[in-house]
Amino acid sequence: MTHAPDISSEPVAFDDMQGLIRFGHGALVEAEFVLCTISDPNAAGLWLDHAPVTSAEALDAPPKVALQVAFTVAGLRAMGVDEGHIAEFSQPFQSGMSGEDSRSRRLGDTGVNAPSEWDWKGADAHILIMLYARKGGLSEWKDKTLDSSFLAAFKQIHSFPTRPNDGTEPFGFRDGISEPKIDWKDARPPAKHGREDFSNLISPGEVVLGYRNEYDEHAAAPDVNDAPPGAHLGRNGSYLVMRQLAQDVPGFWTYLDTMADGDNERREQLAALMVGRRRDGTPLIHDRHDIAGSPRKNDFTYDDDVNGTSCPLGAHIRRANPRTGDQPHRGQGRLGWLLSTLGFRRRRDKLPGRHDLVASTRFHRLVRRGRAYGSALTPEAALRPDAPKDARGLFFICLCADLVRQFEFVQNAWIASPTFNGLTGEADPLLGNRQPFCGVASDGFTIQTPSGIGQRLAPLPQFVTVKGGGYFFLPGLTALRTIARHGRQEV
Amino acid sequence: MTQQDTFFILAPVAEGRAEGLVSVLESMTFRPGFANPDNPLVPFGQFDQLHMARFFLVQANTWRDIEAHGQTPRPFRLQLAFLGDVDGRRDVFLRELVTRCADGLFEIFNHCEGVHDGTDLLRWMDEHNVEEAANYVNMRGRTVSQIREEAALATALRDELDGIVNAQGTADPFGLHRHLVEFVGRQKASGRLHLTQPARVTWREWVVDKIDLVSVPLLILFLSPLLVLLLPLFLLRLRLAERSDPEILPRPDDDRISDLGRYEDHDVTNPFSAFGDVKPGLFRRSVTTVALYLLNYAARHIYGRGYLTRVQTIHFARWVFVDDKRRVLFCSNYDGALESYMDDFVNKVAWGLNLVFSNGVGYPSTRFLIKGGAALESKFKRYLRNRQLPTQVWYKAYPGLTARDLARHGEIRKGLEVRPDGARALRNWLAKI
């Protein structure tokens, strides 16, 4: 089924890419995100021209600070980018995360998660400024970057401080363990990234516009192919998704504690079953397989756990990354491949029917760059009756080249759907909004057991509430200067 | 066995009546496209043999594309399609439909040409019925009432199982099975559950089916010397066509995509309707005809037990020729959002789609009829979405249930009637409840 790649692998221009695409800036533990409108496009152009936006080049010494800049479609318009160029951007970016009821329906942004309840919408903003610094350096970096020329050009509408990054999300779990590895050298043709086995490698074109993607195609990108040099708006850019997810940490641990009858170990066990990992990040699946592009501690698939007795079928990490290859039957020769392709290998399966409902994970990977906010609260502290109820949660941030195929697909078909993987009546145990989804209840959670009789928790309370969100475009550096020139009306 | 039958009524909309028709159709829905089963015009919910049905306007969005083949485009009159899948025979259903809701049907169909006071609607519908070129049924023989009975069984068993597990624990699967069998026996006796035995396959049906089953392989065997001789010529002709056929894949209009979205994801299942032109010339027309014939054969005899190749999420799918085989209408009912559906097309059955759809004008280039094409993800999605039409009214008799749910319910019932062999199989069965 492989065919000769007709796109030669091309060197990746790190120097023209924003650093966030390649680095999570994990060592820059302090971060703040600022949402602004553009009040003076000319002044904005001047500021953007001189802004020290961090590139993806690896430096000899790791940077002490970083700055990244992303635009909404309204922001591009405000900068004077003409409609012809804007029309080249993808439909979801133009429409925005909250622009259509049907999109909200698919993303599970209904009920208390509905955009009408949000604190902020990307659609009301123009530009997202992302500031990162080492411990203690953020306020100085912020003052220096958002100087008087910035204030003359932009009007701040929201500022989102974050919690110093310690690799832990607010419920107390290690986060960001399972990231796809971008095959920057593009050495392996996309056909080899998955095809049969799950692989953790993805092509650059899954994240950066203008490069070869997992389908061996160029990611659809504004102007990538035929615009004159210097006018490439899409090249080396990426779509950035940001969602503010408020987490009810006391609610989460109190619920689990009640379900565990106050038993510490049982409570931790239940939490681990919901997530699919223990709090320190240890996965519930113990069998290790060699997976291309994956660190040893993360080398596992669910192939040997079709019944979900080790890791529940609906556990958070199993939904967010099902780790399936392209073919349900592997290494069985050409005849086996043919029979499987024709759909004739189902009866031999341990669980007929469920297998192969979720396949080809490699086309639905996200590069996550989120940060937590609000003060830290340990599970023990969260269980106290006087536990602080102040706001905490996660700024979920991810990068992808195709908003629909990647972010929206994962959020819709894997996270929010109550019929994921043949299950019924349950959405993601952490993220679910517990509202009926497409007319089907989604407020349960089933822990499969070897006895065949699952332990069913229902109704689950809602632990995570969407408070805001938007789709942004993270331009390449040349494109950023082009946008700046548009603002100064030099284009 | 109760066979499923189909109807597909297609008629031109009378001049200037399209807008009125759309508002009549909208009056039948709860939400965009999602039918009110008790709507006064066609109360779908009253018909126990009706699985799915839809009304939609057939509009040729891409009719000009054929110009790229050097042909003069033929405009296509706006038509109204009314189609559905029923248990038993089409004529029985249509007669019942006309008997029960003649007024409602008239209110809809009087927007079409040739329908006025006094028109014999049954005869008119019969005259406007288009035979399918290919038809796929997820599970042949499974009736609406069976689906409903099995869904009720699954719900009852789930509640009961929760109760007995609390009382006796999970250690003895044989005991649990026995208990559940007795429970269902009591429920049936008291009339709370019904498990009607499916109609047996009659001798006559069996013979007809087997003759049909062997006829195609026999025909191919009989013609094989000729086919072997013609194969090189066919491949040569095919490759020539594949190398020169134009791809016409403009980006779908954003407003159209938004509008289509309004009709989607109101249920776990969605309707898909699409309309496109077949590439001109005898060659492509023949390939399409043969491909659909074989597809129909495969759907009758090979698939139809819960899966169409690797895809398990399609309830019903239909391909019909229109306009003297110049165009094809494709209508299906699938689980999940459209992106998941297209994703299955691209990742699991690109080859199968290519066999049929690569004969459509503008399709992404294929190689040897099965390679390329739908495997070109972004191009294929453009092709499909440019031809997709909104489904103004769509009805499904079992909202909230996916094809996988229906299959699982069937497996639960089977395990109840015939105890699974051994403790492990029994535990797998319990896991389905």
Q: How far does CA A30 lie from the centroid of its chain?
A: 20
Phi and psi angles of residue B148, each rounded to the nearest 5 degrees, phi first: -70, -40
Amino acid at A381: A
- What separation, in Å, do the N-terminal and C-terminal C-alpha atoms of chain A show? 46
CA–CA gap between residue B157 and residue A160 (Å, rounded): 50
| Residue whose entry in the numeric block shows the structure tokens 């170990």 | A265
For residue A157, report the phi and psi dihedrals to the nearest 5 degrees.
Answer: -110, -25
CA-to-CA dists, residue B128 to A241, A332, B113, B289, angstroms: 50, 50, 11, 21
Q: Do B427 and A450 touch (CB under 8 A)?
A: yes
Q: Is the CB of A408 less than 8 angstroms away from the CB of B339?
A: yes
Indicate whether A4 pLDDT > 50. no
Give how far Cα B137 sits from Cα of B144, B297, B377, Å.
13, 12, 26
Put residue A164 in one of left, alpha, beta given phi > 0 → left and psi -120 to 50 → alpha: beta
Distance CA B86, CA B2 (A): 10
pLDDT for A295 equals 84
Closest by Cα among A75, A79, A54, A51 to A485:
A79
Model pLDDT, residue A230: 43
Asked if residue A1 has pLDDT above 80, the reply is no
pLDDT tens track for A213-231: 998 887 655 544 454 444 5
pLDDT tens for each residue of B324-339: 999 999 999 999 999 9
Residue in chain B lying closest to A442 (CA): B400
pLDDT category at A290 given cuts 50, 70, 90 is confident
Q: How many angstroms separate the CA of residue A453 from the nearest CA in chain B? A: 5
Nearest CA to A380 out of A267, A270, A247, A283 is that of A267
| Closest by Cα among A123, A162, A176 to A34 | A162
ipTM for the predicted complex comes to 0.94
Spacing of C-alpha A352 from chain mean position: 32
pLDDT at residue number B199: 87
b/e per residue B360-376 (b: at least 16 CB within 10 A) = bbbbbbbbebbbbbbbb
Residue B414 touches partner A, C-beta closer than 8 Å = no
Touching A: B residues 280-309, CB under 8 Å: 303, 306-309
Contact B428 A353 (CB under 8 A): no
Return d(Cα A192, Cα A4) in angstroms, integer: 12
DSSP codes, B42-110: --GGG-TTEEEEEEEEE--SSGGGGGGGT--------EEEEEEEEES-HHHHHHHHHHHHHHHHHHHHT
The per-residue pLDDT of chain B, averaged, comes to: 94
Q: What Cα–Cα distance (Å) separates residue A310 from each residue in A304, A443, A460?
A: 9, 22, 21
Report the residue from A95, A409, A456 with minimal CB separation from B339.
A409
Mutate to test the interface with A, among B36, B338, B345, B347 (most CBs of A within 10 A): B347
- Tokens (6 digits) for A394: 């996660």
Q: What is the pLDDT of residue A346?
A: 62
Q: Using CA atoms, how far apart are residues A107 and A101, in angstroms rounded to an integer?
A: 10
How far is B99 from chain A, CA to nearest CA, in Å? Answer: 32
Written as one string, the DSSP assignment of B314-332 is: EEEEEEEEETTTTEEEEEE
- Whether the CB of B262 is below 8 Å from some CB of chain A: the reply is yes
Token couple for B408: 């699982």
Determine which of B155, B404, B426 to mutate to test the interface with A (most A C-beta atoms within 10 Å).
B404
Distance in angstroms (rounded) separating the CA atoms of residues B68 and A315: 51
Mean pLDDT lowest for which of A50-54, A74-78, A450-454?
A450-454
Q: Is A452:B170 a contact under the CB 8 Å cutoff?
A: yes
What are the chain A neighbours of B399 within 8 Å (beta carbons)?
A: 439
How far is Cα B412 from Cα A100, in angstroms, rounded to an integer?
40
A340 Cβ contact list (under 8 Å, min separation 6):
A327, A328, A329, A332, B310
CA A154 to chain centre: 28
Residue A354's pLDDT band (cuts 50, 70, 90): low
Q: What is the pLDDT of residues A56-97, one digit of tens each?
A: 998 888 899 999 999 999 999 999 999 999 999 999 999 999
Question: Whole-angstrom Cα distance, residue A367 to residue A178?
Answer: 10
User: Is it the case that residue A405 has pLDDT exceeding 80?
Assistant: yes
> Using an 8 Å Cβ cutoff, are A74 and A125 in contact?
yes
Instruction: Give CA–CA dist A325/A180, Å, rounded.
Output: 14
**Would you tell me which residues 198-257 of chain B have a C-beta closer than 8 angstroms to some C-beta of chain A?**
254, 257
Find out whether B38 and B28 touch, Cβ atoms under 8 Å. Answer: no
* Chain A positions in Cβ-Cβ contact with residue B254 (cut-off 8 Å): 87, 91, 94-95
Q: Using the beta-carbon criterion (under 8 Å), do B262 and A102 form an inter-chain contact?
A: yes
Determine contact: B165 vs chain A, CB below 8 A.
Answer: yes
User: Residue A8: pLDDT above 50?
Assistant: no
> Is the CB of B347 less than 8 angstroms away from the CB of A409?
no
Closest Cβ opposite residue B399 in set A103, A422, A439: A439
Where do the DSSP E strands lie in B221-289? 269-277
Tell whether B419 is within 8 A of chain A (Cβ). no
The per-residue pLDDT for B106 is: 96
Contact, A293 vs A199, CB < 8 A? yes
Supply the pLDDT for residue A352: 52
Task: Please state the rounded mean pLDDT for residues A236-261.
Answer: 96
- Per the CB < 8 A criterion, the answer to whether B21 and B57 are in contact is yes
Tell me which chain B residues have a C-beta less than 8 angstroms from the C-beta of A351.
428, 431
Q: Is the pTM of this model over 0.80?
A: yes
Which parts of chain B have pLDDT scores under 70? Answer: none
CB A34, CB A51: distance < 8 Å: no
B307 interaction partners in chain A (CB closer than 8 Å): 343, 346
Write the pLDDT tens digit of every residue in B151-181.
Answer: 999 999 999 998 888 888 888 889 999 999 9
Instruction: Give the pLDDT score at A343.
Output: 82
What DSSP string describes A75-134? HHHHTT--HHHHTTS-HHHHH-TTS-HHHHHHHT--GGGSGGG-SEEGGG-SEEEEEEES
Residue from A206, A344, A358, A419 to probe the interface with B (highest B Cβ count within 10 Å): A419
Give the length of chain B.
433
* Interface contact B340-A409, CB threshold 8 A: yes
pLDDT, position B342: 94
What whole-number distance in Å separates Cα of residue B151 and Cα of residue A177? Answer: 40
Subunit contact A326:B347, Cβ cutoff 8 A: yes
Q: Which of A438, A447, A456, A457 to mutate to test the interface with B (most CBs of B within 10 A)?
A: A438
Give the start-end residues of each E strand in A162-279.
181-182, 201-202, 238-247
Interface contact B375, partner A, CB < 8 A:
yes
Give residues 179 to 198 of B whose Cβ lies within 8 Å of A: none
Q: Which residue among B347, B404, B426 places its CB closest to the CB of A353?
A: B404
